[in-house]
Every structure is written in C-alpha cells, then in structure tokens.
Amino acid sequence: MASSDSDATTSSEEDPLDMTADEGWHDVDDEESEAIPIVSFFSKDTFATAKAMLDDVKARYSFDFIGLKKQMDLDFYGTVKLVNYIRSEVKQGHQVSTQISKESIEDDKYLQPVLEDDALLFSLDEVDEVPIAPPHGPDTSPRNADDVRKIAELKDEIERLDTQHSEYVKFVTKTLDQQWEQRPAGSFPAPSDKAKDQKDSDDGYFQSYSYNEIHKAMLSDHARTGAYRDFIYENKHLFKDKIVLDVGCGTGILSMFCARAGAAKVIAVDNSDIADKAREIVFDNKLDNVITVLRGKIEDVTLPVPKVDIIVSEWMGYCLLYEAMLDSVIWARDRYLALGGLMVPSHCVLRIAPLSDCDYVESKCGKPKAFWNDVYGFNMKAMIPAEEWNNDEVVIEHLGFKSVPAESVILLELPIATITVEELQFTKPFTVKMAKDVIGLDGWLIWFDTYFLPQPGAQLPDGDIRAESWERNRHPGAAFTTGPAQDTHWKIAIMIIDEPYRQKELKSGQKISGTVQYKKPKNSARSLEVNIEWDAEGTEVKGAGSWVCK
C-alpha cells in the first residue's frame, strides 16, 4: 500500500492510527478500590445506594421506578432490561414516562448494559428486597396456614432473585478479552437460556460488535485501517464535496477519514450498540456537522438523501464472505449509489493454496487424538468425537510461507460495483503446482486480497496480480493482503483435511486440481460452509472435505 509518511494530511497530529499521539489507546485500570457511585437516570448526579437514587428520581422527576417494576410484574432479568431501556431512551434524548409496556423491553439487547460500569445493575438486590417475615409482635405473627405459605413463597422468590442476580453479575463482569477469545464474531455470550435463544442469527451477529475489544483489534490492524486511510487521504479529490455512505460504520473511523478528506456529508449506519459510541466519537472530534450516525440495519433505516456518491464499508469477514455483510453492502449499492458512483473498496480476490506442515497439524489434531489411543493401557478411541478440536471447522490463524508448498492461485475475483448476491454462493475450479517436495498434503489455505481503485468501473490488471506487490508495481489506489505476507486480524482460513487423506507424498512440479464450493448453511444465514474436492494428477493423492466457518 502507498506510504503516507510524506503527506502532511497524515501527520501524527491528525493520524487516527498514530498510537503514540492517541491517549485513548492506553489501557485503563478498571479496578477501583472504592465503590462505584450509582448514576441517576435523568441527570449526572451520583448516589451511594440504589435506594437513594431511586428516591431522588421519584421526588424530583415523579418517576416511581419501584412502583413501575411492581406494576409490570418484572423478574430480575425484566428489571435489568427496564434499567437499560430507560438509560437507552435518556441517552437518545427521549422523554421517559412511567407508561412503559412489557413489549417495549422485550428485546434481549436490553440485557446489555447501556452505561459502562453501571453500578445500579449490581445493586438490584436492593431494589428487590422483600421482608422475609412480617414484623414481630403479638398482632403480626402468622395466624393461619395461608400466611405461612405466603411467607415460604416470599423466601423462595428471594432465593430465585439472588440466583438471577449472581448470574447477571458474572455475565456483566466477564472481561471483553475473554469474550473475544472464547467466542468468534457472530456469537453473543448470554447469561441464561432465554438470552441464548436469539430470534435469528442477526441478533448475535450485531451484539458481537457491541464490544470494545473487537473494535480495538480491527483499529489496531494497520494493514486494514491504514489502507482505507491512505486511499481516502491520497484521493481527496474523489471525496471533496461528495455524499458518502458508510455501511457498518463501527466506531466511525472510515466516516471520519472521509469527513477529513472533504466530504460534504457522511451518513454512517450501524445496527449494533457501537453506533451510540460512534455518535460520541464524531461529536468529540467536532465532525458532527458533517457526519450523521444512524442506528439500524441499512435495509431498514431511511437515509436523509435519495442517492450517495460513494459507499465505503469494511465488510470483509473470515474466508472473506463469513458473516454475509457483503449482502447488505450490495443492497445499499443497488438502492442508494448514484450512477457512476464509487465503491470503496472496489475489488476483492479470493486465493487458495495447499498446506503442508505436519508439526502444525499434529499440534492441532494429532496429539489430542493420540491421547485416547492408550489411556493407562486402555483403548478410549470412542472419546475422540468429544474432543473440542473438530476437523470440520475452519481454523483462523496466521501461517508463514514455510507452510505453503505452492504458489497460491486466484479462486474468485469480486468486483464490488457489479457482483450480485447470487454470485456469493459458487463452485469454482482451481489448479495449483507444487513448488517443492512434501511428505504429505495436510490441508488447504484460503485468504483474500483487497483493492481500492480510484476510478468507478475500473478493472484489476490482467494476470496474477498480488496485493503485496501493488505498491512496487506503481498501480493506482491501494491494496492489502491477508495472506502469509501480512499478519492481519483476519489471519488465514485453514481447512485441515482428515487423516486418511494426509501422509501422501507430492513432488515439485506436480499439479493438484479441484473445486471449491462456498454456500450458506440452511440453519445460519451468516455462517459459511466451504467444500473442497481435489486430485493430484498421476498420484493417489485425492480427497474431499467440508468445513464450516461459524
């Protein structure tokens, strides 16, 4: 990609990727030695206890939270949703009354805290306090079996609320690092079976982008974010006085690049909670006069303009098409992009190469399986299917060139300005030529290159063009690769083949031909199934496999 060191517009003073000048990148110690105060619903006032805060809002704003909770007959999770619903409405500038229905807080998104470190959520046991027994005295002791039964029910209710409260505290206090490491993008950690039961795959997908850690990972990926920045800043003439649509804006970094490049108006759209943060970020950088942030799916929101001149989006997922966000970008293109408009990026290219690295494969699936072959002298192979490692799942890791015994070849070129949703499910042939002798074929690697061409309708050069050599060849625009030449947050998609297909020698010069199929599983529109068949000419090396990216 083009270097921007000599461009005054990308100096450290305004370069959002220059971490040395950005105090926001420093880690913040969340561990406080003293109790966190409870913030009022309707002001910035803080209180030592939940009761004090709720009494204040009742006295000053005539808002009876406890009465509303009782009227709605809410359990613990319902109370959590009510708190986050109120905070969400206030944050958006909406007036909140006590005329709130249960339907208003049905969405499980209200299980996610709106206010960072919201101490009220950890103090709901105060709100739910119920006397275990009537006050002692000669006239208030239980008089009959019915009174005793009611007291027992109250005790059971308190125990249930305590359990729910403990579960929720564990959920909220779980670190973002753990959420990022333990669950792939597209899954949403929830505290209960009810929260896990998402209405559709979109719920979990958008929730996964609510966490700071995933955005930090993407922003820290300089190959990714730097390519967007370089293209936008080095082609300011394309953006000056133009209307830009940012699909899936996240923190708003691409929108702010466009605004700084001279765009007249930028419309940033995102359906996750990060949209609220993006508004704050835009305001803090004094770009709210140019950038408008809309919360919602691009298919559902109404833009303030009929057409846009440029659509910018970072939609790429693992294996390029995992998460199916390109579908939404194509929808936005067909609905909003003006004739002759520009798509940023303009092209992506899927590449495939063989994997030969027995040490890597052994570390992943050989040793766990070997363990069960002999356990204190007993054969426990029946346990192998229960292993956490599963060869039918796509592995996302970075591997160097030493694991790639042949040059990668182009599997599919995606011109973003013209490709259709139907073309995103495909079966394509490929042929690779071994560059060295190997003791066995261990799997397949898929990665993608991304290109930013400055002219609408421009085509990639003919031949086997490569993103890692784009700058050296002095091509227009910018490019980056997610392959072995560059470690990005996308890493490389690894499909390890089953053991019977491995341990077959291949010689330098031998060709392997096959097909790759991309399709969406019927039960998950945002997952991706990859099917590969292959056959090495003149050898017994052949096979087939199916892997899921989820």
pLDDT given for residue 115 in this prediction: 84
What is the Cα–Cα distance from 72 to 78, expressed in whole angstroms? 9
Distance, CA of 264 to CA of 321 (rounded, Å) = 31
How far, in Å, CA of 478 to CA of 453, rounded?
7
Closest CA to 10 of 237, 289, 260, 284: 260
Token representation of residue 344: 């940023």
Bond before 345 cis per omega within 30 degrees: yes
pLDDT at 472: 53
The pLDDT, as a whole number, for residue 144 is: 60
Work out the average pLDDT over 301-319: 94
Q: Cite the residue boundaries of each domain of the chain with CATH code 2.70.160.11.
A: 347-549
Task: Provide the b/e sequence for 330-352 (b: ≥16 CB within 10 Å).
Answer: bebbeebbbeebbbbbbbbbbbb
Residue 152, pLDDT score: 67
Residue 476 burial by CB count (10 A; 0-12/13-18/19+): exposed, middle or buried?
middle
pLDDT of 282 strictly over 90: yes
| Amino acid identity, position 543 | G
What's the alpha-carbon Rg for the chain, to the nearest Å?
28
User: For the segment 469-508, what is each residue's pLDDT rounded down to a tens digit?
Assistant: 876 556 788 999 999 988 898 889 999 988 777 767 889 9
In the set 314, 362, 407, 499, the catalytic residue is 314
Q: Which of 103, 323, 362, 537 is catalytic?
A: 323
Q: What's the rounded Cα separation, in Å, for the pair 207 and 200?
A: 12
Instruction: Tell me phi and psi for residue 479, to 5 degrees.
Output: -160, 155
Please report which confidence band the pLDDT of residue 139 belongs to, taking 50, 70 and 90 as the band edges: very low
As annotated, the residues of the chain forming the CATH 3.40.50.150 domain(s) are 212-314
Residues 263-267 have a mean pLDDT of 97
Q: Could you tell me the strand order of the sheet in which 337-344 lies?
A: 291-295, 265-270, 243-247, 308-312, 337-344
In single-letter form, the type of residue at position 143 comes to R
Rounded to whole angstroms, how far apart are CA atoms 134 and 51? 21
Single-letter code of the amino acid located at 468: E
- The 3-state secondary structure of 352-417, one letter per residue: EEEECCHHHHHHHHHHHHHHHHCECCECCHHHHHHCCCCCCECEEECCCHHHCCECCEEEEEEECC
Please give the Cα distance from 501 to 442 (Å, whole number): 8
| pLDDT band with cut points at 50, 70 and 90 for residue 175 | very low
Is 314 designated active site? Answer: yes
Q: For residue 38, is pLDDT > 80?
A: yes
Burial of 474 (0-12, 13-18, 19+ CB in 10 A): exposed
Burial class of residue 400 (count of CB atoms within 10 Å of its CB; 0-12, 13-18, 19+): exposed
What is the band of 212 on the pLDDT scale with cuts at 50, 70, 90?
low
Residue 18 · residue 92 · CB < 8 Å: no
CB 161 within 8 A of CB 128: yes
For the cut 60, the answer to whether the pLDDT of residue 355 exceeds it is yes
Residue 267: which of 280, 240, 286, 248 has the closest Cα? Answer: 248
Which SS3 state, helix, strand or coil, does residue 517 take? strand
Q: Which of 69-83, 131-145, 448-462, 491-505 has the highest mean pLDDT?
A: 448-462
Rounded distance between C-alpha atoms, residue 250 and residue 312, angstroms: 12
Cα separation, 168 vs 165, in Å, equals: 5
Average pLDDT over residues 69-79: 85
Any idea which of 161-175, 240-254, 348-362 has the lowest mean pLDDT?
161-175
In CATH, the architecture of 347-549 is: Distorted Sandwich (2.70)
Q: Which of 467, 491, 461, 493 is nearest to 480 (CA)?
A: 467
What is the secondary structure of 429-492 as a DSSP string?
EEEEEBSS-BS---EEEEEEEEEE-SSTT--PPSS---GGGTTTTT-SSEEEE-STTS--TT-E
Q: What mean pLDDT do residues 279-302 have? A: 94
Could you tell me which of 509, 530, 508 has the C-alpha nearest to residue 519? 530
- Determine the pLDDT at residue 133: 37
Homologous superfamily of 212-314 in CATH?
A: Vaccinia Virus protein VP39 (3.40.50.150)
Sign of the alpha-carbon dihedral angle for 67, 72, 73, 74: negative
321 backbone dihedrals φ, ψ, rounded to 5°: -105, 0
Q: What is the DSSP letter of 526?
A: T
Closest CA to 494 of 508, 507, 484, 481: 484
